[in-house]
Structures are given as C-alpha cells and as structure tokens.
Amino acid sequence: MISDADRALGLLAELRALGVRLALDDFGTGYSSLTYLSALPIQQLKIDRSFVTRIVESSRDAAIVTSLIDLAHHLGLQVIAEGVEEPQVADRLRRLGCEYGQGYLYSMSMDPSELPAWADRFAPLETPASLRGQVDAILR
C-alpha cells in the first residue's frame, strides 16, 4: 500500500462501495499514522494489543486507549481492541465504549471449520438463520 498509495486507496474505495467493512489494523504501532485515519475509507480502528493488555495496571496505556477510542468515535469509527485476555480488561474496554474485543479471552486461534460450533456455544438462540447461512457459505 505504501509503495502505490493512489492505487491502494482506489481499491479500498471500491471495496467499501461493494459493502466491505474495512478496519485499520494494529493502530498505534509500526506504519500506523494519524494521516491514515482521514485518508482511508475505513469504518473500524483496531487498537494494537501492546496498549490494550495493560490498561488495568498502567495509567499511561489506559490514557492512550481511552484517547484512541474517543478519537475513533469522533471520526465516526467503531473500535476493536486487540489482545483482550482478561475479564477486567474487557470490562474496562466496555466502560470506555469500545464496541468489539479480540483475544484469547474469547477464543484461541481455530480452524475455520470449528467456527460454527464455537458461535453456537455463545449465542445459540440469538444467531439469526441468515447469519448462520452466511458463515456456512464463507466456509465452503
């Protein structure tokens, strides 16, 4: 993307026009930049686990995560927190308004064929048949 930004932005815009939801991954580390928040056609910001895992015991990391959630919401973005491994971290993120969490608290990595059974354990009565059909279609 960095070597041909114009082409990448065009492709991302086409994907978004098709209804694909886009997230900026690992925000806060590596090549991430505030410029991407205004330039990319994204709907979600994924906060890197290096900040999330310590928000209960580190006031500095808590301040960074709080600020990123607030910034994302002001830009109309949803937030995904990576590295959620402890219930206390998930609770703090919920109180901060973080919409989604990703991490070992919810599941270890799994084979795609295991996804339907995993989803059934968490919401067997709430999962609409249409969603189940979409998951099955993706796995084919």
Q: What is the pLDDT, as a whole number, of residue 106? A: 85
For the domain bounded by 5-106, which CATH number is listed? 3.20.20.450
Greatest CA span in the chain, whole angstroms? Answer: 47
- Range name among 34-38, 75-79, 134-138 with the lowest pLDDT average: 134-138
The secondary element (H helix, E strand) that includes residue 26 is: strand 23-27
- pLDDT, one tens digit per residue, over 36-66 is 777 788 899 999 999 999 999 999 999 999 9
Percent of the chain past pLDDT 90, that is, above it, reads 43
Computed over every residue of the chain, the mean pLDDT equals: 82
Full-model pTM: 0.75
Residue 61's Cα: distance from chain center in Å? 18
Q: What is the pLDDT, as a whole number, of residue 76? A: 94
Mean pLDDT of 88-95: 95
**Domain range annotation of the chain:** 5-106, 110-140
